[in-house]
Structure 1
Amino acid sequence: MKFRGIGAILLLAGILAAQQKKLAPDFTVTTIDGSKVTLSELKGKVVILDFWATWCPPCRMEIPGFVELKKKYGKKIEIIGISVDRSVDPVKEFYKKNKINYPVAMATRDILESYNSIYRLQYIPTTFIIDRDGYIYDIKVGFASKSEFEKSILKLLSDEKK
């Protein structure tokens, strides 16, 4: 009988631990156009942090959806593209050609290590959806549709700020 009670407590503790939100690691990046973006300065907005590359077909497929979402939700959200390309030149070319309307930066060792500590960044695209308080709401690995991202955005925008 004692073991059942202890087992139930351990199970409940495991469930509660799994439900704890993780604070997204803060960072400052320099975008490909030279401006600075700091995550902690974006509190109050839903943030989509997308690790991608120009040579990655699923990454390229997601970008038109991100452009549309940024147009639709404007200042309520921020999308930040973190390119893992080795050179900035193809990123700048891709940025212009695809009329990307959100900040894009090159991956730095610091941001890769910070986000790798939360979720092992093995694949791209890997996209972190961060709530208005700076906590990670969801992580998408691989291609996700515009509608999948929009569901998360709508949920997070409709949640009352606590």
Structure 2
Amino acid sequence: MKNLTLKNIALTIFAVLALCLGVWTNNQLKFDFITLDEQKHSWSEMQGKWIVVNYFAEWCAPCLREIPELNHFNQLNQADIYMFGMSFDQLERGKLIDLQQKYDIQFPLIQSAVTLPWSQRPTSLPTTFIIGADGEVKKQLKGEQSADKLLKTIRALQSL
């Protein structure tokens, strides 16, 4: 009888530990994208904030011209707006790091994505997606953007 009780206690402890490990593992694997600094993010963790995602490519002259403006926008709005860049060419990590350094990209770059809030890749570059605080795509902007234009667009969308 005593052995049966100890066995039940041991099995219960093992089951609780296995459950805790399962929950922890699930939380660690639950992400929508990884940035170049190897941070895992989910779109849902950013709900309540506005998000700007800019698609670019090295072969796209307007994309390269707008990088200083995107850097400026990111510096001005880090507290209430998230800014990310995403290579249209889906470069591997090493090439993406080289590109970030070569063009002094100062905002986080998405290295790989599992899910995106929009349905398909853009058909032209540069393209910038603005995602509202509710997690929905509010606007898709084509062409070069300035920090001022991005901020004005977001403020206008926020007032709707």
**TM beyond 0.5:** yes
1:36 is the counterpart of 2:36: no
How far is the alpha carbon of 1:35 from its aligned partner?
1.0
> What is the RMSD of the two structures over their aligned residues, measured on CA atoms?
2.5
Match of 1:106 in 2: 111
1-structure distance, mates of 2:115, 2:44: 15
1:59 is the counterpart of 2:63: yes
1:126 is the counterpart of 2:116: no
How far is the alpha carbon of 1:48 from its aligned partner?
0.5
- Percent sequence identity is 29
Higher-Rg member (1/2): 2
Moved more, 69-78 or 102-111: 102-111
CA contact (8 A) 1:48 1:127 kept: yes
**TM-score in terms of structure 2 length:** 0.67
- Give SS of 2:55's match: strand
Task: List alignment gaps of at least 5 residues for structure 2.
Answer: 1-30
The amino acid that maps onto 1:73 is N
How far is the alpha carbon of 1:59 from its aligned partner?
1.2
Match of 1:91 in 2: 96
The amino acid that maps onto 1:34 is E
2-structure distance, mates of 1:84, 1:106: 11
How far is the alpha carbon of 1:129 from its aligned partner?
0.7
- Report the CA distance shift for 1:107/1:58 in structure 2 as closer, same or farther (over 3 A): farther
**TM-score in terms of structure 1 length:** 0.67
